[in-house]
Amino acid sequence: MRLLLVRGFAAWVAAMLGFAAAAPSACAVEEFFAELQAKYVKQDSKNDNDVALVIAFEQARCTICHPGDDTHTLSPYGSKLSLRVNKSDKGKKKKIQEAFKEVGALRSDPYDPKSPTYDELFRRGELPPAPGR
């Protein structure tokens, strides 16, 4: 009886490990962050907004699109980007930059026609609002 329980538990553990290995990986792609940084961050600028954005990018990194610890969760900005690019677009710099351009033109609050666009936020040295703010 005990041997049967041990075998059953071992089979359950093996099944769970199999499911975990088959689970989709997170969509966070370092190349997307590098392209976003290339589009908006001006490392050598002395402009206050540019300096603020450099600091914000260094602190936020992937949380610009993936707030919190769960990289499967997307911010509103990240969600809009994910409709235009995904992991299979890695290496397609033109497509990635086009997605940033399209999303950059969108309002940061789609319900407020006076809200700044994402491009305007970046130019002001600010990151897109995180969920719950």
pTM listed for this prediction: 0.72
pLDDT of 3 > 60? The answer is no
Among 21-30, 89-98, 108-117, which is the least confidently predicted range? 21-30
Report the C-alpha gap between 24 and 93 in whole angstroms. 23
Predicted local distance difference test score (pLDDT) of residue 73: 86
Report the C-alpha gap between 32 and 22 in whole angstroms. 24
Predicted local distance difference test score (pLDDT) of residue 63: 87
Q: Give the model confidence (pLDDT) of 22-78 as tens digits.
A: 333 344 578 888 999 999 999 889 999 999 999 999 998 888 998 877 778 899 999
pLDDT of 122 > 90? The answer is yes
Question: How many other C-beta atoms lie within 10 A of the C-beta of residue 124?
Answer: 12
3-state secondary structure of 19: helix
